[in-house]
Amino acid sequence: MVPEGVRVVLVSDGPTAWYSGMMPGAVAGMYQPEETQMELAELAAAARAEFVCEAVVDTVVYAPAEVGDDGKTGHLVLASGATLGFHVVSFDVGSTTRGAETVPGVADYAIATRPIYELLGKLKDAEQALGDGRGRDAPLRVVVVGGGAAGIELAASYRERVVRSGRAAPEVTLITPDPILHQAAGDKAAAAVDAALAARGITIVTSTVVSEVEAGRVVGERREGDSGSSLAFEAAYDVVLWATGAAPQPLMATMAESNGERLQFSDRGYLAVGSQLCVAGAEFVFGAGDTVSLTSAPWVPKAGVYAVREAPVLAHNLLAFVTANRGRLIGGARNEPWHTHSLTEYQPQEGFLSLLAMGDGSAVGVWKGMTFAGSWVWRLKNHIDRKFMNKFPPPDRPASSSASGGAAGARRVPSSKRETLSHLA
């Protein structure tokens, strides 16, 4: 429960959150888009929180001497120019796609996996632009850049999407600089995925870095054996999908520039938090999921299972921090240390079950070096994903059907009033 007198505000740049675990199925046409979404206003209402639907473009954290009589420790800068003061703040803004803004041509010609809420719309736009120009019996040339889980699932699921549309099976090429699934998954897992993709006619090109996307072709270099030499590489495409893994949101770089040493960031630009999911020296700043790098476990990959399991720790620690530091937060002694003794430490697991959807009612599972595949693996994945999503209100559910105990509805706060809100989560 939220302590008496605490105001919680959820800020997001869109009205819904999309569940990435179900996106391959949505791409293939096995789910309707709304089945992969949750309504944030209703989630906020159930938590007795307010909802602000606007992007955050910067954050300023105050030095102790800058803290006013109201005890606020900083403010968010919203896209409208309004500011939103906070006592405690948590950044859970996910990640962007690596290279999407830095590799020439990607922004102009490729469809990136993030932001996830744009993916289905961009695929539809690309299909409408293609029309029947090459003829429905002529196979589309599809290039997928990225050999991790996202690239694998997208390659298989997009192939199935094209087939379901009535076109000929596309020629799909998956390009990756590393072995498929990367080395951490193990040789057996990589071989199983290789076989699953090969059975669907998907060509895998490893040891290849795409350096530019041009109209109609991708170009780059391919390493040759152990000699260290490289050869020029190019591949023609009708559709190019960019699934190269995670990179920090641009907001993180802006925050680093605005706050100097008041906040900490990893070498790659993620917000650096300790095992209690807060920033050392600015313990009122929290974060989780793809947004952060754990200083206590920098090896943790950017995978949704870690974000989900961080959530209970984050929720506990936000409330515990507010309770333990209530005196200082409402304008008490500014130079006292923050009390963190009641905060829980997050202990990440060393491995996790990976279920890769193939888009056709089958999936490949990887667990501690073991692999398994078939329709039963898809049924398992579907059961897990639907069980998770059933906890949340879908976008088409009326506000009156909020979870028991929730508020009647979360209001979207007008810009003129946002400056007065205390952003606590």
Measured between alpha carbons, how far is 422 from 425 in angstroms, rounded to an integer?
A: 9
Measured between alpha carbons, how far is 170 from 158 in angstroms, rounded to an integer?
A: 9
Q: State the alpha helices, DSSP H only, in 260-363.
A: 304-324, 326-329
Contact 38, 16 (CB under 8 A): yes
Q: Where are the beta strands (DSSP E) in 68-178?
A: 74-78, 83-86, 89-91, 96-97, 111-112, 141-145, 171-175
| Ordered strands of the 89-91 beta sheet | 89-91, 282-287, 278-279
Per domain, the residue ranges of the chain are: 9-95+248-345+394-418, 106-246
Of 58, 60, 16, give the one whose Cα is nearest residue 393: 16
Q: C-alpha angle with apex 248: 44 to 230, nearest 5 degrees?
A: 145
The DSSP-derived string for 240-256 is EEE---EE--HHHHHHH
pLDDT single digits (tens) 359-372: 999 999 998 888 99
- Say how many CA atoms lie within 13 Å of 404 toward its Cβ: 0
Pick the CATH number of 106-246 from 3.40.50.720, 3.90.1640.10, 3.30.360.10, 3.50.50.60: 3.50.50.60
Contact 313, 278 (CB under 8 A): no
Helix (H) or strand (E) holding 192: helix 187-199
Retrieve residue 319's tokens: 């409330």
Contact 22, 62 (CB under 8 A): no
Measured between alpha carbons, how far is 96 from 250 in angstroms, rounded to an integer?
A: 8
The DSSP-derived string for 371-410 is EEEEHHHHHHHHHHHHHHHTTS--TTS-GGGPPTT--S-P
Each of the 425 residues of the chain gets a pLDDT tens digit; together they read 677 889 999 999 999 999 999 999 999 999 999 999 999 999 999 889 999 999 999 999 999 888 888 889 999 999 999 999 999 999 999 999 999 999 999 999 999 999 999 999 999 999 999 886 666 788 999 999 999 999 999 999 999 999 999 999 999 999 999 887 765 667 888 889 999 999 999 999 999 999 999 999 999 999 987 777 889 999 999 999 999 999 999 999 999 999 999 999 999 999 999 999 999 999 999 999 999 999 999 999 999 999 999 999 999 999 999 999 988 888 666 778 899 999 999 999 988 899 999 999 999 999 888 899 999 999 999 999 999 999 886 676 443 333 333 333 343 433 333 332 333 43
- Say how many CA atoms lie within 13 Å of 228 toward its Cβ: 0
pLDDT single digits (tens) 270-305: 999 999 999 999 999 999 999 999 999 999 999 999
Angle separating helix axes 149-164 and 187-199, nearest 10 degrees: 10
Residue 323 to residues 60, 320, 328, 343, 389, Cα–Cα distance (Å):
23, 5, 10, 11, 31
Asked if domains 9-95+248-345+394-418 and 106-246 share a fold, the reply is yes
Measured between alpha carbons, how far is 282 from 63 in angstroms, rounded to an integer?
A: 9
Measured between alpha carbons, how far is 93 from 305 in angstroms, rounded to an integer?
A: 16
Helix (H) or strand (E) holding 45: helix 40-46
Measured between alpha carbons, how far is 157 from 115 in angstroms, rounded to an integer?
A: 18
At residue 355, what is the residue type? L
* Look-up of token digits 């703040």: 89
At residue 138, what is the residue type? A
| Ordered strands of the 208-214 beta sheet | 208-214, 217-223, 230-236
- What is the reported pLDDT for 94? 95
- What is the reported pLDDT for 226? 73
Measured between alpha carbons, how far is 330 from 368 in angstroms, rounded to an integer?
A: 48
- What is the reported pLDDT for 137? 84
pTM of this structure: 0.88
Preceding omega of 115 cis (within 30 degrees of 0): yes
Measured between alpha carbons, how far is 129 from 86 in angstroms, rounded to an integer?
A: 45
Please tell me the CATH superfamily of domain 9-95+248-345+394-418, with its number. Answer: FAD/NAD(P)-binding domain (3.50.50.60)
